[in-house]
Amino acid sequence: MTRTVSPLFAQASAGIVSAPHFLSAEAGANILRCGGNAIEAAIAVGSTLAVVYPHMNGLGGDAFWLISDGNAETVRGLAAAGPAGQHYSTATFLDAHLHEIPFRGGRSALTVPGAVAGWGAAYEFSRNTWHGSLSWGDLLEAAYLYAARGFPISPNQSTTLARFAPDLREQPGFLQQYLPSGEVPTAGTLWTQHALSETLKTLAKEGANSFYQGELAETMIRGLRAAGSLLTEADMSAFKTDWVEPLRVAFGQGEAINFPAPTQGVASLMILSILDRLKAHLGDHLSADFIHYNVEITKQVFRWRDQVVADPYFHDFDLRKLLQEDFLSEIDALIQPGRVLPTPDIGIGDGDTVWFGVADAAGRTVSVIQSLYHEFGCGVMAGDTGVIWNNRGCAFSLKKEQINGLEPGKRPFHTLNPAMYAENGRVQMAYGSMGGDGQPQTQAAILMRAKHYGLSLEEAVASPRWLYGRTWGERSAGLRLEHRYPKQVYADLQRWGHSLSWVPDYSDVMGHAGIVRLRSGLGSTFAAAADPRSDGGVVGVDAT
């Protein structure tokens, strides 16, 4: 299997993959070379990422997909994110004298993971609608081989392990899974995951449903309950994915497309739309004005996001109201040059995630995001399966009056939101990023730089970025700038009243972004970029 480092930018004539780990990009490209379509390749990318980037995502996590056959009107959303178990409510924790849901351990394993079901639903859609021809086992083969035979640990995984291992090593199965020698493996160390390879072998043989019913599901639930989780086999077997209608808003010469609730996709669209309306005031893409307008818009958008975005089965609010021109006009009227508005009381939106995009020779495109929420999720291995469980449930509130209060069968609020951009009725770009509250901000930076400022894809992704928000342990939100910004930009923002700090060049704090572009005309049909802040890569496929 090829293990050569992929470049961070590529062009091709018959399909392309962008992913935050180069081995997963190569796995997807191999499927395209074998005649697979964009969905089939994306399943190979996603399953491989679950193996080679385990601090960011895994079989025990969630996923959201945007799927396009090329026609902007037919873009579909696939929500593969699970709800809280039936034994969970605010009383579950309050009666135990806990006033917030723990971030780690079995008590934080309270939602059913949807990622594997998402692969299965996407596979069925591919076979039934796109006439996909590759077998389910073919699509999981790269993931299985990397788990069974090993792969070189990436620098990002090694540094993340070093940071979080002291807090997680006592969680059931964590030491066995990630620190078999007792020490943090250095980057480049060949690492195998035999328990996970056996789970992947079961999935390849028995299908995605075996993750939710049968012996594998029973083993995982036993392990979780021994660690303090209240999830049951009935919670697992009851889970179903949802096909949903995406949200859309006019942007530039086309439209931006994103995911509805329970994700913050509406926030990403609101920011883009307001920036588009105020573009005459933004200055250069590296200017203090561009950052200032983005931050002030983000403050107002997040204020609305936190009031209305929740599981639509529990809170039925029409998010399209927030995308109407008259409503957005009320927000953009608040944004003034050099004027810093009060900081709203926004929630903490940290977390690690992977975004990846695939386009095939027919122009069919997918934009996908997967996550365990925090690095390594709750830190608990579900039995001896090699599956580390998500801790997405700690995004719930224990205040019953809040819109995202914990209830049985309810999905938590998700920062995850995959994106697309369309012009003239055709999907032109798929893009996205990890980064919690940073995702809408990074999406705005990428699309504005690519479409409004006309930067190349590499520049759009790699250029210096900012992040507004609050991270763990902080009492108030602040603005971070990568140190590659000119000092005058920092001075201007500080003079206007922004609370600022520097972060290192190409910092993980800014997220791992990526973009795939389809274009018609002479020359290459596809182009893509991956983020130098990640261990990512782009692999293109040319017609033979």
Q: In 3-state terms, what secondary structure has residue 501?
A: strand
Confidence of residue 471 (pLDDT cuts 50, 70, 90): low
φ, ψ of residue 372 in degrees (nearest 5): -100, 0
* Relative orientation angle of helices 194-206 and 38-52, to the nearest 10 degrees: 160
Q: Which two tokens stand for residue 302?
A: 């997040």
Confidence of residue 351 (pLDDT cuts 50, 70, 90): low
Q: What is the pLDDT of residues 203-225, one digit of tens each?
A: 999 999 999 999 999 999 999 99
Q: Which two tokens stand for residue 382?
A: 């579900």
Q: What is the pLDDT of residues 4-30, one digit of tens each?
A: 346 899 999 999 999 999 999 999 999
Q: Which two tokens stand for residue 487?
A: 């000092």
Compute the average pLDDT of residues 259-266: 97
Dihedral sign for Cα atoms in the order 132, 137, 138, 141: positive
Burial environment of residue 543 by CB neighbours within 10 A (0 to 12, 13 to 18, 19 or more): exposed
Asked whether residue 145 carries a pLDDT value surpassing 50, the answer given is yes
Q: What's 362's DSSP letter?
A: T
Helix, strand and coil content of the chain, in percent to the nearest 5, comes to: 40, 20, 40
Compute the average pLDDT of residues 415-439: 93
Confidence of residue 472 (pLDDT cuts 50, 70, 90): very low
What would you report as the CA-atom Rg of the chain, rounded to the nearest whole angstrom? 22
* SS3 sequence of 417-469: CCEEEEECCEEEEEEEECCCCHHHHHHHHHHHHHHHCCCCHHHHHHCCCEEEE
Pick left, alpha or beta for residue 339 (phi over 0 → left; psi -120 to 50 → alpha; otherwise beta). beta
| pLDDT confidence of residue 348 | 47
The whole-chain average pLDDT of the chain stands at 93
Instruction: Judge whether 175 and 183 are in contact, CB under 8 Å.
Output: no
| pLDDT confidence of residue 520 | 62
| pLDDT confidence of residue 7 | 86
pTM confidence score:
0.95
Q: Name the residue among 46, 22, 197, 34 with its Cα closest to residue 121.
A: 46
Hey, which residues does 254 pair with through a beta bridge? 251
Taking the C-alpha atoms of residue 199 and residue 151, their distance in angstroms, rounded to an integer, is: 17
Q: Which two tokens stand for residue 337?
A: 């040059």
Asked whether residue 346 carries a pLDDT value surpassing 70, the answer given is no
Instruction: Judge whether 440 and 249 are in contact, CB under 8 Å.
Output: no
| pLDDT confidence of residue 272 | 97
For every residue of 200-248, DSSP letters joined together read HHHHHHH-GGGGTSSHHHHHHHHHHHHTT----HHHHHT---EEEPPEE
Q: Which two tokens stand for residue 3?
A: 């293990």
Q: What is the pLDDT of residues 431-470, one digit of tens each?
A: 999 888 889 999 999 999 999 999 999 999 999 999 998 6
Give residue 142's identity as a one-letter amino acid code.
A
Buried b (16+ CB within 10 A) or exposed e, 428-467: bbbbbbbbbbbbbbbbbbbbbbbbbbebebbebbbbbbbb
| pLDDT confidence of residue 544 | 77
Compute the average pLDDT of residues 59-70: 98
Confidence of residue 476 (pLDDT cuts 50, 70, 90): low
Dihedral sign for Cα atoms in the order 220, 223, 227, 232: positive
| pLDDT confidence of residue 542 | 93
Q: What's 156's DSSP letter?
A: H
Q: Name the residue among 141, 147, 173 with its Cα closest to residue 26.
A: 141
Tell me the percentage of the chain whose pLDDT exceeds 70.
95
Q: What is the pLDDT of residues 382-396, one digit of tens each?
A: 999 999 999 999 999
Cα 113 versus chain centre, distance: 14
Asked whether residue 1 carries a pLDDT value surpassing 80, the answer given is no
Q: What is the pLDDT of residues 147-203, one digit of tens each?
A: 999 999 999 999 999 999 999 999 999 999 999 888 899 999 999 999 999 999 999
Q: List, in order, residues 6 or more apart from 438 with CB less than 8 Å away.
A: 349, 467, 469, 509, 510, 511
Place of tokens 């939710």: 212
Give CA angle at 407 (405, 413), nearest 5°: 50
Q: In 3-state terms, what secondary structure has residue 173?
A: coil
Judging by DSSP bridges, how do beta strands 247-251 and 254-258 pair with one another? antiparallel
Taking the C-alpha atoms of residue 400 and residue 514, their distance in angstroms, rounded to an integer, is: 38
* SS3 sequence of 372-417: EECCCCCCCECCCCCCEECCHHHHCECCCCCCCECCCCCCCCECCC
| pLDDT confidence of residue 85 | 98
| pLDDT confidence of residue 4 | 38
For every residue of 30-97, DSSP letters joined together read HHHHTT--HHHHHHHHHHHHHHH-TTT--TBSEEEEEEESSBGGG-EEEEE-PPBPTT--HHHHHTTT
Judging by DSSP bridges, how do beta strands 478-482 and 500-503 pair with one another? parallel
Q: Name the residue among 235, 201, 3, 228 with its Cα closest to residue 101.
A: 228
**Active site residues per annotation:** 353
Confidence of residue 524 (pLDDT cuts 50, 70, 90): low
Q: How far apart are the first and last CA of the chain?
A: 20
Instruction: Count CB-CB contacts under 10 A for residue 99.
Output: 8
Q: What is the pLDDT of residues 296-330, one digit of tens each?
A: 999 999 999 999 999 999 998 999 999 999 999 99
Compute the average pLDDT of residues 63-91: 97
Q: What is the pLDDT of residues 91-106, one digit of tens each?
A: 999 999 999 999 999 9
Taking the C-alpha atoms of residue 528 and residue 13, their distance in angstroms, rounded to an integer, is: 12
Instruction: Judge whether 140 and 204 are in contact, CB under 8 Å.
Output: yes
Compute the average pLDDT of residues 35-42: 98
| pLDDT confidence of residue 2 | 31
Is the pLDDT higher at 2 or at 291? 291
Place of tokens 């329970």: 262
